[in-house]
Amino acid sequence: MVTIDDVARAAGVSTSTVSYALSGRRPISPATRERVAAAIAELGYHPHAGARALASSRSSVLALVAPLRSDINVPVIMEFVTAVVTAAREHSYDVLLLTKDEGTAGLQRVAGGAMVDALIVMDVESDDARVPALLKLRQPSVLIGLPSEPTGLTCVDLDFEATARACVEHLAGRGHRRIALVGPAPGVYQRGTSYANRFLTGFTAAVGALGADVVAEPCDPSRAGVRDCLDRIGPDVTGLVVHNEAALMPLLDLLRVDGRRVPEDVSVVAVCPRDAVPPLPVRLTTAEIPAHEVGTLAVTMAMRLLDSPVATPPETRLLPPVIVERDSVSPI
């Protein structure tokens, strides 16, 4: 292996000079800088990450905890992951991928072993066992999601409550009064998944403000599950808010089978990321899930926590909803 000493020798300088030439943490004369750069290129030198981490107590690695096997939206997860990895690389960080399955132990392992400088945690539940564990770590963390007790933690997410409200108001503004929510799979609620509950809260409040009955049903995304969900909702709604991407396809198909046209008989607003709108016959009006923005922002916030010489005050950022009007909503 080529070491920093090899480079120093080849360039005719000391190891510290090579180190400083690399980090830029002290001035180096152009001539020296150039000789060092040449030696590095010639020898194909790559600093040893472990040695660097040991000496500097910084690993330049971010942990990303993702729900890798679950009933929640796969494309959305991929978009988060992509955004985080890409943004991290722009800050010269690498990403260590952990599964949610590892739970608290995984966080402690990678943080305790100083493998990572900061953690980004997706799919946070309202009352998440990992939250107290994160607060005890030496490394800062950023949550994608919003636990019920976020004190002391930095969080970022779409404002799902406002998003639900925006969906309802979009329909209400076009005359709809009988509006139902087709929610995520039952398991998502049972786990206390933060975003599902926040969406439901916003939906309930918005429909209540309209003085209408609140109809909200979880929905298993199988064809049978969607059939069942539609039956529970009943035949007389005119507006459907669908917070379940996987259910969209069977849902639209079953509406067709039932002879209910979209948007003539039923208007539909779907919650899903721009890039994952299913290629259905009707172009869906959606509330966007800005997964890319959220992921990028999570990295930015993590970098701020790492940069700040003193403790940065924890902050929660909820992105405002964006409704993209397409063809699945019509006035009543």
Give whichever of 97 and 209 is closer to a copy of itself, judged by the CB atom: 97
Per CB under 8 A, the segment of 26-34, 60-68, 175-183, 233-241 that binds a copy of itself is 60-68
Output the DSSP codes for 162-206: HHHHHHHHHHHTTT---EEEE-S-HHHHHTTBHHHHHHHHHHHHH
Number of residues that bind DNA (CB under 7 A): 32
Tokens linked to 71: 């009933």
In the window 54-83, what residues touch DNA (CB under 7 A)? 54-57
Number of residues that bind a copy of itself (CB under 8 A): 53
Q: What is the per-residue binding string for a copy of itself in 68-87, x denoting contact by CB under 8 A?
A: xx----xx-xx--xx--xx-
- Partner whose footprint covers residue 78, from a copy of itself, DNA, none (CB < 5 to 8 Å by kind): a copy of itself
Give whichever of 246 and 266 is closer to a copy of itself, judged by the CB atom: 246
206-243 as b/e, with b when 16 or more CB fall inside 10 Å?
bbeebebeebbbbbbbeeebbbebbeebeeebbbbbbb
**Does residue 14 belong to the site contacting DNA (CB under 7 A)?**
yes
Instruction: Return phi, psi of residue 66, to 5°.
Output: -120, 150
- Partner whose footprint covers residue 28, from a copy of itself, DNA, none (CB < 5 to 8 Å by kind): DNA
Half-sphere exposure of 97 (CA within 13 A, CB side): 10
Q: Fill in the DSSP letter of residue 41.
A: H
Per CB under 7 A, the segment of 2-10, 74-82, 178-186, 235-243 that binds DNA is 2-10
Instruction: Return phi, psi of residue 292, to 5°.
Output: -65, -45
The residues, any chain, with a CB within 8 Å of residue 70's CB and separated by 6 or more, are 100, 123
* Residues near a copy of itself, by CB under 8 A: 1, 44, 46-54, 59, 61, 64, 68-69, 74-75, 77-78, 81-82, 85-86, 89, 94-99, 101-102, 108-110, 112-115, 138, 221-223, 226, 246, 249-250, 253, 278-281
Residues that bind DNA (CB under 7 A): 1-5, 12-17, 19-20, 22-23, 25-29, 31-32, 45-48, 51-52, 54-57
